[in-house]
Amino acid sequence: MNSKFLKPFLQYTLSLAIAVGVLWFVLKDVAIEEMLGKVSELNYFWIGVSLFCALLGYGFRVYRWNLLLAPLGYRPGFLHTFLATMIGYLANLVLPRFGEVVRCGVLKRSDNVPVSTSLGTVVAERVFDLFFLVLIVVATLFLEFDKLSAFLGEVFSGGSRMPAVSAFIYIGAGLLIAVFLGVWYYQRNKAFIREHAFYKKLSSFLKELLSGVLSVRELESRRGFWLSSSLIWVMYYLMSYVIVFSLPQTSGIDVLAGLAILAMGGIGMAAPVQGGLGTYHLLVSGVLMVYGASKNDAVLLAFVLHTSQTIFVIVTGVISLLVSFIINRKKPVAATENA
């Protein structure tokens, strides 16, 4: 196999293998026939509400991305940014995090926004998304510590008796050692590295990337940025919570469960597997069981939520891809004079 395609192939295969393994673990003790028998009991109105909340969340995300691009002198318009965003989500289903580059590439093609610049704004988005996710996780643990501490300890210690804190310590220590070795190697070979063509290209790319990240400081509407960022997660919360009403047996689950579903679902989606496959089901079904759902009901709801959102992304992404080919103007959007 060509070495150019070997690395992506190995990444895809490894992440897919992990996803399938985790998915098998989720399903191994589930009565599949009984779970599938409950599909006929689903209330599709609430699934539709969940999808509508997701669509609003994507809309707020597109609005926020345009706010980040504006200080850099690029105004692609809501439609083009929406198309790029949904095509990016579609690509993420193929290869984790690949969609971030793809959506920047789509915007480069339609509006001539440099990939390195738009990628910088995407990095900025991810930083703020991480901030909100951590905030939600911390708030959820603070409000529901008694219910969730044992569950998290079980999940992050791989089912062993080792506390989750110990697992995090080992991971953190490994990362620190890797960083130390990288800095040590750079200091010993600084002159050689700086003269290398790859270093110069990377340095130039990182400067443009940084300009995208720092665009947050020059926002035309900081209020709009923070409001849209908050509304993205409000919509994600509603998207996650209302799904419990789609099954009669789980319709009594309280609103705090929605926070836990959002927090664990966010962690599951951040895992390096295609579309959170497996990891999302593991964490969300586990949380639902903590709040009283049976294993079959919990796994079914996790599948309903994940599958409905995945189908929505596939349909919307494919339509966006087709529309982008049709309306591609091939007309660059020039930077404003004060950019």
Q: For residue 74, what pLDDT is reported?
A: 86
DSSP state for residue 2 in the 8-state scheme: -
Q: For residue 179, what pLDDT is reported?
A: 73
DSSP state for residue 338 in the 8-state scheme: T
Q: For residue 110, what pLDDT is reported?
A: 85
- Plot region of 136 (φ>0 → left; ψ -120 to 50 → alpha; else → beta): alpha
Cα–Cα dist 137/259, whole Å: 8
Cα–Cα dist 86/91, whole Å: 9
Residue with tokens 């609003």: 56
Cα–Cα dist 303/315, whole Å: 18
Residue with tokens 């930083």: 127
pLDDT in tens, the chain (339 residues): 555 556 666 666 777 777 777 777 777 777 777 777 788 888 899 999 999 999 999 999 999 999 988 888 888 889 999 999 999 999 888 777 788 889 999 998 888 888 888 888 888 888 888 888 888 888 887 877 767 666 666 555 554 444 444 544 555 666 677 777 777 766 767 666 666 666 666 676 566 556 656 666 777 788 888 999 999 999 999 998 998 898 888 888 888 888 888 888 888 787 777 677 778 888 888 888 888 888 888 888 888 888 999 999 999 999 999 998 887 754 444 444 333
DSSP 193-215: HHHSHHHHHHHHHHHHHHHHHGG
Q: How many other CB atoms are found less than 10 A from the CB of residue 183?
A: 10
Cα–Cα dist 162/284, whole Å: 22
Residue with tokens 């796994």: 299
Q: For residue 216, what pLDDT is reported?
A: 67
Helices (H), the chain: 3-27, 32-37, 44-69, 78-92, 98-111, 115-143, 145-156, 164-188, 190-195, 197-213, 222-241, 255-270, 279-290, 295-327
pTM recorded for the entire structure: 0.74
Q: For residue 192, what pLDDT is reported?
A: 65
Q: For residue 337, what pLDDT is reported?
A: 38
Q: For residue 124, what pLDDT is reported?
A: 82
Query: Could you tell me the two tokens for 43?
Result: 């209330």
DSSP state for residue 247 in the 8-state scheme: S
Cα–Cα dist 241/46, whole Å: 10
Residue 236 near residue 64 (C-beta atoms within 8 A): no
